[in-house]
Protein backbone atom coordinates (compact mmCIF):
# COMPACT_ATOMS: atom_id res chain seq x y z
CA UNK A 1 0.00 0.00 0.00
CA UNK A 2 1.19 3.56 -0.66
CA UNK A 3 2.62 5.63 2.18
CA UNK A 4 -0.38 7.95 2.35
CA UNK A 5 -3.26 8.74 4.74
CA UNK A 6 -5.89 5.99 4.82
CA UNK A 7 -8.63 8.40 3.72
CA UNK A 8 -6.60 9.87 0.84
CA UNK A 9 -7.68 9.22 -2.80
CA UNK A 10 -4.28 7.55 -3.49
CA UNK A 11 -4.66 5.05 -0.64
CA UNK A 12 -8.33 4.31 -1.39
CA UNK A 13 -7.59 3.74 -5.10
CA UNK A 14 -4.75 1.31 -4.32
CA UNK A 15 -6.94 -0.51 -1.80
CA UNK A 16 -9.73 -0.93 -4.35
CA UNK A 17 -7.31 -2.23 -7.01
CA UNK A 18 -5.72 -4.75 -4.65
CA UNK A 19 -9.13 -5.93 -3.50
CA UNK A 20 -10.06 -6.46 -7.16
CA UNK A 21 -6.85 -8.44 -7.76
CA UNK A 22 -5.26 -5.92 -10.10
CA UNK A 23 -1.42 -5.90 -10.28
CA UNK A 24 0.39 -3.11 -8.45
CA UNK A 25 3.57 -1.25 -9.30
CA UNK A 26 6.01 -0.87 -6.44
CA UNK A 27 9.06 1.29 -7.21
CA UNK A 28 8.66 0.58 -10.92
CA UNK A 29 8.16 -3.19 -10.47
CA UNK A 30 4.90 -4.96 -11.16
CA UNK A 31 3.67 -7.06 -8.21
CA UNK A 32 0.82 -9.53 -8.59
CA UNK A 33 -1.23 -11.28 -5.97
CA UNK A 34 0.18 -14.66 -5.00
CA UNK A 35 -1.35 -17.50 -7.01
CA UNK A 36 -2.22 -15.47 -10.10
CA UNK A 37 -0.91 -16.16 -13.60
CA UNK A 38 0.82 -12.79 -13.51
CA UNK A 39 2.73 -13.81 -10.39
CA UNK A 40 3.66 -17.12 -12.03
CA UNK A 41 5.00 -15.32 -15.11
CA UNK A 42 7.06 -12.93 -12.98
CA UNK A 43 8.50 -15.86 -11.04
CA UNK A 44 9.53 -17.55 -14.30
CA UNK A 45 11.23 -14.35 -15.53
CA UNK A 46 13.38 -14.41 -12.39
CA UNK A 47 14.31 -18.09 -12.80
CA UNK A 48 17.44 -19.74 -14.20
CA UNK A 49 15.23 -21.37 -16.82
CA UNK A 50 14.65 -17.93 -18.34
CA UNK A 51 17.88 -16.13 -17.42
CA UNK A 52 19.99 -18.94 -18.89
CA UNK A 53 18.57 -18.42 -22.38
CA UNK A 54 20.32 -16.48 -25.14
CA UNK A 55 19.84 -12.71 -25.01
CA UNK A 56 17.79 -12.72 -28.22
CA UNK A 57 15.47 -15.41 -26.82
CA UNK A 58 15.07 -13.54 -23.52
CA UNK A 59 14.13 -10.34 -25.34
CA UNK A 60 11.51 -12.10 -27.47
CA UNK A 61 10.10 -14.09 -24.55
CA UNK A 62 9.89 -11.06 -22.28
CA UNK A 63 7.79 -9.29 -24.91
CA UNK A 64 5.45 -12.29 -25.10
CA UNK A 65 5.42 -12.67 -21.29
CA UNK A 66 4.30 -9.08 -20.82
CA UNK A 67 1.60 -9.68 -23.41
CA UNK A 68 0.38 -12.80 -21.54
CA UNK A 69 0.63 -10.91 -18.28
CA UNK A 70 -1.62 -8.10 -19.48
CA UNK A 71 -4.23 -10.60 -20.72
CA UNK A 72 -4.24 -13.15 -17.87
CA UNK A 73 -2.74 -11.19 -14.96
CA UNK A 74 -5.49 -11.51 -12.34
CA UNK A 75 -6.65 -15.04 -13.25
CA UNK A 76 -5.75 -17.87 -10.89
CA UNK A 77 -2.82 -19.98 -12.07
CA UNK A 78 -4.49 -23.13 -10.71
CA UNK A 79 -7.49 -22.46 -13.00
CA UNK A 80 -5.39 -22.34 -16.19
CA UNK A 81 -6.33 -25.12 -18.63
CA UNK A 82 -5.17 -26.12 -22.16
CA UNK A 83 -8.38 -24.72 -23.67
CA UNK A 84 -7.55 -21.27 -22.28
CA UNK A 85 -4.15 -21.31 -23.98
CA UNK A 86 -5.65 -22.62 -27.24
CA UNK A 87 -8.29 -19.89 -27.21
CA UNK A 88 -5.65 -17.25 -26.59
CA UNK A 89 -3.38 -18.52 -29.40
CA UNK A 90 -6.33 -18.62 -31.83
CA UNK A 91 -6.12 -14.82 -31.95
CA UNK A 92 -2.88 -15.09 -33.95
CA UNK A 93 -1.75 -16.54 -37.25
CA UNK A 94 0.10 -19.89 -37.34
CA UNK A 95 3.67 -18.61 -37.06
CA UNK A 96 3.03 -15.98 -34.34
CA UNK A 97 0.91 -18.51 -32.43
CA UNK A 98 3.61 -21.19 -32.58
CA UNK A 99 6.26 -18.71 -31.44
CA UNK A 100 4.14 -17.86 -28.40
CA UNK A 101 3.47 -21.54 -27.74
CA UNK A 102 7.20 -22.04 -27.15
CA UNK A 103 7.00 -19.71 -24.18
CA UNK A 104 3.76 -21.27 -22.91
CA UNK A 105 5.47 -24.67 -22.91
CA UNK A 106 8.51 -23.30 -21.08
CA UNK A 107 6.20 -21.70 -18.52
CA UNK A 108 4.16 -24.85 -18.06
CA UNK A 109 7.22 -27.05 -17.53
CA UNK A 110 8.75 -24.63 -15.06
CA UNK A 111 5.53 -24.16 -13.09
CA UNK A 112 5.21 -27.96 -12.85
CA UNK A 113 8.85 -28.51 -11.84
CA UNK A 114 8.68 -25.66 -9.32
CA UNK A 115 5.62 -27.08 -7.62
CA UNK A 116 3.35 -24.20 -8.55
CA UNK A 117 1.09 -26.57 -10.52
CA UNK A 118 0.31 -30.28 -10.42
CA UNK A 119 -0.10 -30.52 -14.20
CA UNK A 120 1.42 -28.74 -17.21
CA UNK A 121 -1.42 -26.78 -18.91
CA UNK A 122 0.56 -26.31 -22.16
CA UNK A 123 1.67 -29.92 -22.63
CA UNK A 124 -1.33 -30.97 -24.73
CA UNK A 125 -1.54 -27.75 -26.76
CA UNK A 126 -0.42 -28.66 -30.28
CA UNK A 127 1.39 -26.48 -32.78
CA UNK A 128 -0.70 -24.97 -35.56
CA UNK A 129 -0.16 -26.12 -39.13
CA UNK A 130 1.67 -23.34 -40.95
CA UNK A 131 2.47 -22.73 -44.63
CA UNK A 132 5.90 -24.05 -45.55
CA UNK A 133 8.60 -21.40 -45.54
CA UNK A 134 12.37 -21.44 -46.03
CA UNK A 135 12.66 -18.54 -43.62
CA UNK A 136 14.74 -15.50 -44.47
CA UNK A 137 15.16 -15.01 -48.20
CA UNK A 138 18.81 -15.27 -49.26
CA UNK A 139 20.51 -12.47 -51.14
CA UNK A 140 21.46 -12.93 -54.78
CA UNK A 141 24.54 -11.77 -56.67
CA UNK A 142 22.38 -8.98 -58.10
CA UNK A 143 21.43 -7.85 -54.59
CA UNK A 144 25.09 -7.78 -53.60
CA UNK A 145 26.00 -5.69 -56.64
CA UNK A 146 23.13 -3.26 -55.96
CA UNK A 147 24.12 -2.81 -52.31
CA UNK A 148 27.76 -2.19 -53.17
CA UNK A 149 26.80 0.29 -55.87
CA UNK A 150 24.59 2.27 -53.47
CA UNK A 151 26.81 2.15 -50.37
CA UNK A 152 30.44 2.96 -51.28
CA UNK A 153 33.52 1.97 -49.33
CA UNK A 154 33.81 4.36 -46.42
CA UNK A 155 30.22 4.01 -45.24
CA UNK A 156 29.37 2.00 -42.14
CA UNK A 157 26.55 0.28 -44.07
CA UNK A 158 29.04 -1.09 -46.59
CA UNK A 159 31.37 -2.25 -43.83
CA UNK A 160 28.47 -4.04 -42.15
CA UNK A 161 27.60 -5.87 -45.36
CA UNK A 162 31.17 -6.94 -46.12
CA UNK A 163 31.67 -8.17 -42.56
CA UNK A 164 28.49 -10.28 -42.61
CA UNK A 165 29.17 -11.53 -46.15
CA UNK A 166 32.54 -12.93 -45.04
CA UNK A 167 31.76 -14.12 -41.52
CA UNK A 168 28.14 -15.23 -41.97
CA UNK A 169 27.45 -13.70 -38.56
CA UNK A 170 23.91 -12.83 -37.56
CA UNK A 171 23.53 -9.06 -37.28
CA UNK A 172 23.24 -9.29 -33.48
CA UNK A 173 26.63 -11.03 -33.39
CA UNK A 174 28.22 -8.89 -36.11
CA UNK A 175 27.84 -5.66 -34.11
CA UNK A 176 29.91 -7.23 -31.30
CA UNK A 177 32.82 -8.33 -33.49
CA UNK A 178 36.08 -6.42 -33.36
CA UNK A 179 39.87 -6.77 -33.53
CA UNK A 180 39.76 -8.64 -30.24
CA UNK A 181 38.03 -11.56 -32.00
CA UNK A 182 40.86 -11.93 -34.54
CA UNK A 183 44.08 -13.80 -33.86
CA UNK A 184 46.66 -15.10 -36.33
CA UNK A 185 44.28 -14.20 -39.15
CA UNK A 186 41.38 -16.25 -37.77
CA UNK A 187 38.24 -14.66 -36.35
CA UNK A 188 36.49 -16.60 -33.60
CA UNK A 189 33.32 -15.77 -31.69
CA UNK A 190 30.42 -17.43 -29.89
CA UNK A 191 26.93 -17.10 -31.34
CA UNK A 192 24.51 -15.45 -28.92
CA UNK A 193 21.58 -17.58 -30.09
CA UNK A 194 23.06 -21.07 -29.87
CA UNK A 195 26.27 -20.53 -27.86
CA UNK A 196 28.19 -22.41 -30.58
CA UNK A 197 31.67 -21.29 -31.63
CA UNK A 198 32.25 -19.92 -35.13
CA UNK A 199 35.71 -19.90 -36.71
CA UNK A 200 36.34 -17.86 -39.88
CA UNK A 201 39.57 -17.53 -41.95
CA UNK A 202 38.90 -13.81 -42.25
CA UNK A 203 42.45 -12.45 -42.51
CA UNK A 204 44.64 -15.52 -43.10
CA UNK A 205 47.30 -15.06 -45.77
CA UNK A 206 46.35 -18.20 -47.69
CA UNK A 207 42.64 -18.88 -47.16
CA UNK A 208 40.91 -22.02 -48.51
CA UNK A 209 40.21 -21.77 -52.23
CA UNK A 210 36.44 -21.83 -51.56
CA UNK A 211 36.52 -18.82 -49.23
CA UNK A 212 35.55 -15.43 -50.76
CA UNK A 213 38.11 -12.68 -51.26
CA UNK A 214 38.40 -10.26 -48.36
CA UNK A 215 39.55 -7.37 -50.60
CA UNK A 216 36.32 -5.39 -50.16
CA UNK A 217 36.37 -5.82 -46.38
CA UNK A 218 40.02 -4.78 -46.06
CA UNK A 219 39.29 -1.64 -48.09
CA UNK A 220 36.39 -0.81 -45.76
CA UNK A 221 38.45 -1.39 -42.62
CA UNK A 222 41.25 0.80 -43.98
CA UNK A 223 38.91 3.81 -43.99
CA UNK A 224 37.01 2.96 -40.79
CA UNK A 225 37.85 4.45 -37.36
CA UNK A 226 39.69 2.13 -35.00
CA UNK A 227 37.38 1.11 -32.16
CA UNK A 228 36.74 -1.97 -30.01
CA UNK A 229 34.06 -3.16 -32.46
CA UNK A 230 34.14 -2.92 -36.26
CA UNK A 231 30.58 -1.56 -36.55
CA UNK A 232 30.76 0.99 -33.74
CA UNK A 233 28.81 4.25 -33.78
CA UNK A 234 30.45 7.58 -34.63
CA UNK A 235 31.06 8.10 -30.92
CA UNK A 236 32.89 4.77 -30.73
CA UNK A 237 30.19 2.89 -28.83
CA UNK A 238 29.07 -0.62 -29.76
CA UNK A 239 25.80 -0.73 -31.69
CA UNK A 240 22.67 -2.15 -30.14
CA UNK A 241 22.04 -5.74 -31.21
CA UNK A 242 18.31 -5.13 -30.92
CA UNK A 243 18.22 -2.12 -33.28
CA UNK A 244 20.90 -3.30 -35.72
CA UNK A 245 18.58 -5.57 -37.70
CA UNK A 246 16.17 -2.76 -38.55
CA UNK A 247 19.10 -0.43 -39.30
CA UNK A 248 20.58 -2.87 -41.83
CA UNK A 249 17.18 -3.69 -43.40
CA UNK A 250 16.67 0.05 -43.91
CA UNK A 251 20.06 0.29 -45.62
CA UNK A 252 19.04 -2.58 -47.93
CA UNK A 253 15.78 -0.83 -48.83
CA UNK A 254 17.68 2.36 -49.61
CA UNK A 255 19.72 0.28 -52.09
CA UNK A 256 16.51 -0.97 -53.73
CA UNK A 257 16.58 -4.39 -52.04
CA UNK A 258 13.10 -5.00 -50.66
CA UNK A 259 12.02 -7.66 -48.19
CA UNK A 260 15.52 -8.93 -47.39
CA UNK A 261 17.47 -8.73 -44.17
CA UNK A 262 20.98 -9.23 -42.84
CA UNK A 263 20.16 -12.90 -42.24
CA UNK A 264 19.74 -13.30 -45.98
CA UNK A 265 23.40 -12.27 -46.37
CA UNK A 266 24.30 -15.12 -44.01
CA UNK A 267 22.48 -17.50 -46.35
CA UNK A 268 24.20 -15.92 -49.34
CA UNK A 269 27.59 -16.83 -47.85
CA UNK A 270 26.42 -20.38 -47.12
CA UNK A 271 25.41 -20.91 -50.75
CA UNK A 272 28.54 -19.13 -52.03
CA UNK A 273 31.01 -21.39 -50.25
CA UNK A 274 28.93 -24.52 -50.98
CA UNK A 275 29.17 -23.81 -54.70
CA UNK A 276 32.94 -23.47 -54.44
CA UNK A 277 33.49 -26.78 -52.69
CA UNK A 278 33.31 -26.17 -48.93
CA UNK A 279 32.33 -29.34 -47.11
CA UNK A 280 29.41 -29.51 -44.69
CA UNK A 281 31.83 -29.63 -41.76
CA UNK A 282 33.60 -26.51 -43.02
CA UNK A 283 30.32 -24.66 -43.49
CA UNK A 284 29.16 -25.72 -40.02
CA UNK A 285 32.38 -24.34 -38.48
CA UNK A 286 31.89 -20.95 -40.11
CA UNK A 287 28.14 -20.62 -39.58
CA UNK A 288 28.08 -22.15 -36.11
CA UNK A 289 25.41 -24.74 -36.86
CA UNK A 290 24.79 -27.69 -34.54
CA UNK A 291 23.50 -30.05 -37.24
CA UNK A 292 24.06 -30.76 -40.92
CA UNK A 293 20.31 -30.28 -41.42
CA UNK A 294 20.69 -26.58 -40.62
CA UNK A 295 23.73 -26.26 -42.86
CA UNK A 296 21.98 -27.91 -45.82
CA UNK A 297 18.94 -25.68 -45.37
CA UNK A 298 21.12 -22.57 -45.50
CA UNK A 299 22.85 -23.75 -48.68
CA UNK A 300 19.68 -24.65 -50.61
CA UNK A 301 20.11 -21.81 -53.10
CA UNK A 302 23.59 -22.94 -54.14
CA UNK A 303 23.97 -23.54 -57.88
CA UNK A 304 23.36 -27.31 -58.14
CA UNK A 305 24.99 -27.61 -61.58
CA UNK A 306 28.24 -26.08 -60.37
CA UNK A 307 28.26 -28.28 -57.26
CA UNK A 308 27.72 -31.46 -59.29
CA UNK A 309 30.31 -30.49 -61.90
CA UNK A 310 32.80 -29.52 -59.21
CA UNK A 311 33.34 -26.11 -60.80
CA UNK A 312 35.75 -23.89 -58.89
CA UNK A 313 35.88 -20.13 -59.22
CA UNK A 314 38.94 -17.98 -58.54
CA UNK A 315 38.25 -15.89 -55.46
CA UNK A 316 39.82 -12.66 -56.68
CA UNK A 317 37.26 -9.88 -57.27
CA UNK A 318 38.45 -9.50 -60.86
CA UNK A 319 38.03 -13.20 -61.66
CA UNK A 320 34.60 -13.34 -60.02
CA UNK A 321 33.46 -10.46 -62.24
CA UNK A 322 34.90 -12.15 -65.35
CA UNK A 323 33.19 -15.43 -64.48
CA UNK A 324 29.88 -13.66 -64.01
CA UNK A 325 30.25 -11.93 -67.37
CA UNK A 326 30.91 -15.27 -69.08
CA UNK A 327 27.77 -16.80 -67.54
CA UNK A 328 25.70 -13.83 -68.70
Average pLDDT over residues 261-271: 91
Q: What is the pLDDT of residue 103?
A: 96
Specify the pLDDT at position 294: 67
**CA-wise closest residue to 138 among 8, 269, 13:** 269
Instruction: Please provide the distance, in angstroms rounded to a whole number, between the alpha carbons at the two ends of the chain.
Output: 75
User: How many angstroms separate the CA atoms of 239 and 169, rounded?
Assistant: 15
Instruction: State the DSSP code for 228.
Output: S
DSSP letters spanning 101-130: HHHHHHHHHHHHHTTS-SS-TTTTPPPPP-
pTM over 0.75: no
User: pLDDT tens-digit profile of 279-295?
Assistant: 989 998 998 887 776 67
- What SS3 class is residue 53? coil
d(CA 2, CA 13): 10
In angstroms, rounded to a whole number, what is the distance separating the alpha carbons of residues 328 and 322? 10
Phi, psi of 281 (to 5 degrees): -65, -40
Region 137-160 average pLDDT: 95
Q: How confident is the model at residue 303 (pLDDT cuts 50, 70, 90)?
A: low
Of 244, 247, 249, 271, the closest CA to residue 173 belongs to: 244
| pLDDT band for position 195 (cuts 50, 70, 90) | confident
Residue 202 burial (C-beta neighbours within 10 Å; 0-12, 13-18, 19+)? buried
What letter does residue 74 receive in the DSSP assignment?
T
Quickly list H helices, the chain.
Answer: 9-19, 37-45, 48-51, 55-72, 82-89, 94-113, 141-150, 156-167, 171-174, 215-223, 241-254, 262-275, 280-287, 292-298, 304-309, 317-327
Q: Which CATH architecture has domain 141-327?
A: Orthogonal Bundle (1.10)
Residue 63 vs residue 318, higher pLDDT = 63
Question: What does the angle CA 111 – CA 114 – CA 118 come to, to the nearest 5 degrees?
Answer: 60
**Domains of the chain by residue range:** 32-113, 141-327
Residues 2-6: what's their mean pLDDT?
64
Amino acid sequence: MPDAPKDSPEFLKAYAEIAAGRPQKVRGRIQHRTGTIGAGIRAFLASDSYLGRAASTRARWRSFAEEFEAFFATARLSDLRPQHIRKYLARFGPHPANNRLKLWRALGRWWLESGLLDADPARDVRKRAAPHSDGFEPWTAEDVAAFRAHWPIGTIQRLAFELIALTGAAIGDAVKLGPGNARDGWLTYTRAKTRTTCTVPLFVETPPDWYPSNAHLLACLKTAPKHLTYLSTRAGASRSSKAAGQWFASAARDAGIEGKSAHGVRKYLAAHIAERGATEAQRMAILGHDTTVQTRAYSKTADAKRIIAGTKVDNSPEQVVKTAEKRN
